[in-house]
């Protein structure tokens, strides 16, 4: 079996498999040490693409305060630092195992906090505090509820940016549509202005397709808080 297929099976047969015992966070805790290798094999380009999108939108700005929601092993922060974005990044994640891997990046994140983000447990940060709140790969079924994008908006300053992603393959259409409906209402209510939408590849492969070299697709929304 190819390494790519093995990594796909680890991800879908274990981590995202609802029939495997334990919560999604228990599974991330156990899977954390394999995450970067498996997702690397699958060509997980999303954090690098999101970092590029964020960097373009803050070009020329300095001394920025960022929040990474669902920091995981820190791929988004590492990519932003590689691009030379002048920012201090705080990160939260529900999985201590994932945060422990991110902490080993050394210096990418100013703070890393274990926090399970749910409707009953909002972000542990004040209103209008960050210049940018961003999230890569976390707004999807079993992960963060779409409504929590509103809490990401809450912690951002007026004029600040909120960047979120979701999966865009047909299997994820219900969640993506729910997210799109929510964002549409926030735009119509003048809470945010949509300044960019992008369709980055999620993985370079998709074993649910006849041709597994078909990329898994993602979606990224960039909003400015009004």
Residue 98 as a binder of ligand SAM (CB under 6 A): the answer is yes
> What kind and span of H or E run contains 17?
none
3-class state of residue 100 by DSSP: helix
Q: DSSP code of 13? A: I
Residue 51 as a binder of ligand SAM (CB under 6 A): the answer is no
**Count of C-beta atoms within a 10 Å radius of residue 12:** 12
Q: How far is the CB of 54 from ligand SAM (least distance, A)?
A: 12
Q: Which of 4, 11, 25, 163 binds ligand SAM (CB under 6 A)?
A: 25
Contact range with ligand SAM by CB under 6 A, out of 4-12, 52-60, 92-100, 188-196: 92-100
CB of 137 within 8 A of CB of 46?
Answer: yes
Q: How far is the CB of 97 from ligand SAM (least distance, A)?
A: 8
Residue 134 as a binder of ligand SAM (CB under 6 A): the answer is no
Contact range with ligand SAM by CB under 6 A, out of 70-78, 170-178, 190-198, 214-222: 70-78
Rounded Cα–Cα distance for residues 218 and 209 (Å):
15
> What tokens were used for 37?
């290798």
Rounded Cα–Cα distance for residues 75 and 84 (Å):
14
* Site of interaction with ligand SAM (CB under 6 A): 24-25, 28, 46-47, 70-72, 75-76, 93-95, 98, 116-118, 136-138, 143-144
């Amino acid at each position: 079996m190819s390494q790519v297929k093995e990594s796909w099976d680890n991800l879908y047969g274990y981590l995202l498999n609802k029939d495997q015992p334990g919560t999604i966070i228990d599974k991330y805790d156990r899977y954390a040490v394999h995450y970067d290798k498996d997702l690397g094999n699958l060509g997980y380009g999303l954090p690098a693409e999101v970092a590029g999108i964020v960097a373009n939108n803050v070009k020329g700005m300095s001394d920025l305060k960022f929040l990474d929601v669902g920091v995981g092993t820190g791929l988004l922060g590492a990519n932003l630092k590689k691009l030379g974005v002048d920012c201090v990044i705080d990160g939260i994640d529900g999985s201590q195992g994932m945060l422990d891997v991110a902490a080993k990046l050394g210096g990418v994140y100013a703070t890393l906090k274990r926090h399970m983000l749910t409707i009953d447990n909002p972000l542990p940060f004040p209103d209008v505090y960050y210049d940018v709140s961003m999230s890569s790969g976390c707004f999807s079924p079993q992960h963060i509820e779409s409504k929590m994008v509103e809490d990401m908006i809450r912690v951002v300053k007026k004029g600040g940016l909120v960047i979120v992603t979701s999966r865009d393959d047909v299997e994820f259409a219900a969640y993506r549509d729910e997210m799109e409906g929510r964002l549409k209402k926030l735009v119509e209510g003048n809470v945010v202005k949509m300044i960019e939408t992008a369709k980055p590849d999620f993985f370079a492969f998709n074993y649910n397709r006849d041709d597994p070299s078909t990329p898994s697709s993602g979606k990224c929304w960039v909003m400015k808080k009004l």
